Chains A and B, each alone.
Chain A
Amino acid sequence: MTMNTEEYNFDDITPVPVIDDNDVVLCKIMYTEEFKTVFGYLRALLLKKELSERALYVACRAIELVPAHYTVWEYKLDIVKKLIETENFNLSDELKWCSNTAINNQKNYQIWHYREMIIELIIKKELDGDKSQYDLEKEREIVGTMLEKDEKNYHVWSYKRWFVQYFSLFNDETELEYATKLIQDDIRNNSAWNFRHFLLFGNPEIKTISTDVLSSEINFTIKMIELSITNPSSWNYMKSLYDMSINVNYDVTDIEKIVYKFSADLDISKLDQNIERVSIPAFELLSTIYGTQGLSDKQREIFTLLGERLDPIRKNYWAYKSTLL
């Protein structure tokens, strides 16, 4: 198979064979002819360290075949860095290519890191290093499209977290609304809860917790718990709010009320998981509250209730917790 196209000629390149006769059977892949051609030329160009348009073409072809080929991604970035120095190379096209590649490869480690690098290059080369000139909507859009397909995609969320950090969007209204919308769409989307936590409490620059934020988050989470009383995502978030409140001596009465409502206020002797949905996380936070209040006997009662009746899969854990009292 030839690598030549109307645009690019490779006659001067001797491809490095992809398979040689001495290869052992272990992990030997029966590559297609297309694969052997593309990677034969890719290897030759890589060894030559050729940073050119035709090399970029081969790198793109290679990534189409093997999206997780990190060596090619790295090579591609080197080529792009070279091309923007010398020619009229459009970095925005590169971002578009990233988006299309991402949509076709949901679970890929390389794409998002590469996108970060391209954005940094755009800001450096085209915006004189001024981040505030960058069009944030473009990024929100691609993340939105990706999360519509898979609302818990780890790589995309990790990229979103980078985006917030890089452009200093902590406490940003648009981002917060996005987090709220995703939680309202699916209250059990834990990635959205985690993102919310990061937006409001993840700024490494801010060391003290705002009681205003605590107060509004406690209210928000209470509403969310009312909508889904067994949801571990909202309860984990509430547990974090409780711990932070205790740390800064903020009033925990509202948290205690919602916890009691779904635990201590119930007729415990009648609780049966086969008949009604009992909120294990509520009882768990109840035990934490008892702990704060120094009521270890009551804590032990809860651990026994959970381990022996309500949460049998974790009976070992609850038994262990009792031994710590």
Chain B
Amino acid sequence: MSSKLSEINDEAYGIGNITSFDEFSVIRNSITDSTIKIPDFDTLIEMLNGSYDSFSNCDAPLGEKLTGTIEKKMETEVDILTIYEDILNEGSNSFPKLNKKAHISFTHGVIAYPLPAMFSKLDASKTWIAYWLMNSCILLETELSNNEKENASKFLLKILNTNINDNNDQYQGFGGGEYQIFHLAASYAAILTLALAKDQNVWSQIDPIKVKNSLLELKLPNGSFIMHKGGESDTRAVYCALCIAQIFDILDDDITKGVFDWLIECQTYEGGFSGEPGDEAHGGYTFCALAAMFILTSPDKILKSNLNFDNLIKWTVDRQYNLEGGFSGRTNKLVDGCYSHWIGGTCSLIETLINYNSKSKTFIPICDRQKLQNYILCCCQDKFGLRDKPGCSADFYHTNYVLCGLSMCQHYQVYDDKLSVEFAPAFGSIPQKISDSDIIDIKSGNIVSAIDSVFGLPYGYAKDMYSYYHKAYSM
């Protein structure tokens, strides 16, 4: 591919003999009656149409210097274009389905066997591995076996009990593995795994007061949190701290003081959020910031705050590329399957805010779910597990977040004030499966479990764990 790219100049850059939109329409019409809608197939044709944010699918001159950014984008586009063209050439029956069987054997399989030595690099992220795999299992509509749950409990208890912080009698929390210090992101992943394993025996061994002590040790005067003692502060750390505090029912003024205002400082001129004030808007940090706001307060208060909502929406919808269908994480960066969750989740939260305030009786979507689902199904499936983009191999991280994104495609969230009052603002959203095929066509074999858009868990798990601590400690 790269040899081809070097031949491209400003004036002529059409790659190969790209079949035009019209030609595919002819093919499509010869296959089926054009009055019958085939949403996935038809939108795929639409995606190949020329667009301002793609370079490889129209004959218009590029009109600017070919730089690294464009070169990389074109390489990605061509890989994806080839896949889409093959599907269109073979007809609508060739449209890929979610290969659940293969992904299920991947996720349950990895849980059951030790990891090769190359995974040593993830030695400080082991609680993440557990979360990504177990979350994927449930999103794929399978249950965790008793053995898997027991393993998770034993594994996490060992990490909890080998934590090397000082004063372990007053502090509790997780590191990324054995003999490590308390880390917010590692703890977030560990606690989500505990929520998935639903082992109350382990839940009872964690004292929310001690968790709160650990969280407050990491709180800065400006309202934000640092990841670990001596570590960096960013919107991820804030999101993880708030998720933990919510689940253990210890979310009070000590924890929340100054957080919202600090998050607002992280909104950039582009509209998305950065890790720290002044950095670049980024999909992961944007999700963390907005989800954190959903834990801190109710939709009406978010809408009335200093958040620049218009800029946030625009930046977020700009992440979706017409040709690829998937999301990028930053302006002028490449599509990546994991942003199906980070940006997809942000879209879902934005839609919650829009629809909360809307008089419309029907749901108002803001991103194109059908095109995102097309990208996921056609481009993100490896033989086993899910991946970033064509040419990449599946990994645990992408398997989880691509599935989270697919779940976002298939559901929208309805905010119920009653739930918010009864439990907490973070628990106000209820996912609803989308039945309108104009928004997205969901084939029965492609269905994944409904997701909780705030916590990154299948719906209900975070609330169950929260309810346990709420009951146990409110007496």
Measuring CB to CB, which residues of chain A are less than 8 angstroms from any residue of chain B?
A: 16, 22-32, 35, 39, 43, 46-47, 65-71, 74, 77, 109-110, 113, 117, 151-152, 154, 157-158, 161, 165, 185-191, 194, 197-198, 201-202, 204, 227-233, 236-237, 239-240, 243, 272-280, 284, 310-317, 320, 323
Contact = CB atoms under 8 A, between A and B. Distances in A.
Contact of A25 (B50, B114, B129): B114
A35 to B, nearest CB: 5
Interface of B: 20-21, 46-47, 49-53, 58-65, 67-70, 111-117, 119-126, 129-130, 148, 150-152, 154-155, 158, 164, 175-177, 179-181, 183, 227-232, 268-270, 275-282, 313-315, 317-318, 320-322, 325, 330-333, 354, 358, 360, 364-368, 371
Contact of B115 (A27, A165, A197, A201): A27
For the complex of A and B, the 9 pairs showing the least CB-CB separation, nearest first, are A188-B69, A274-B50, A240-B269, A273-B50, A186-B67, A190-B331, A228-B64, A194-B280, A313-B322
Nearest to A72: B124
A132 B12 CA distance: 52
Contact of B164 (A35, A47, A316): A47
Given A74-B228, A312-B322, A274 B60 contact: yes
Given A154-B282, A187-B64, A280 B119 contact: no
Contacts of B50: 272-275
Contacts of B317: 314, 316-317
Contacts of A197: 268-269
A159 B85 CA distance: 43
A237 B269 contact: yes
Given A277-B60, A313-B47, 6 more contacts: A27-B115, A35-B120, A65-B120, A311-B52, A311-B322, A313-B321
Given A70-B227, A70-B231, A316-B368, A187 B181 contact: no
Contact of A24 (B59, B65, B154, B354): B154
A312 B51 contact: yes
A320 B364 CA distance: 7
Contact of B365 (A154, A157, A316): A316
Contacts of A31: 117, 120
Contacts of B232: 109, 113
Contact of B367 (A22, A46, A316): A316
A191 B229 CA distance: 29
Contacts of B64: 187, 227-229, 231
Contacts of A227: 64-65
A227 to B, nearest CB: 6
Contacts of A39: 123
Contact of B276 (A16, A158, A187): A158
Contacts of B282: 154
A190 B158 CA distance: 44
B364 A29 contact: no
Contacts of B111: 25-26
Contacts of B53: 230, 232, 280, 313
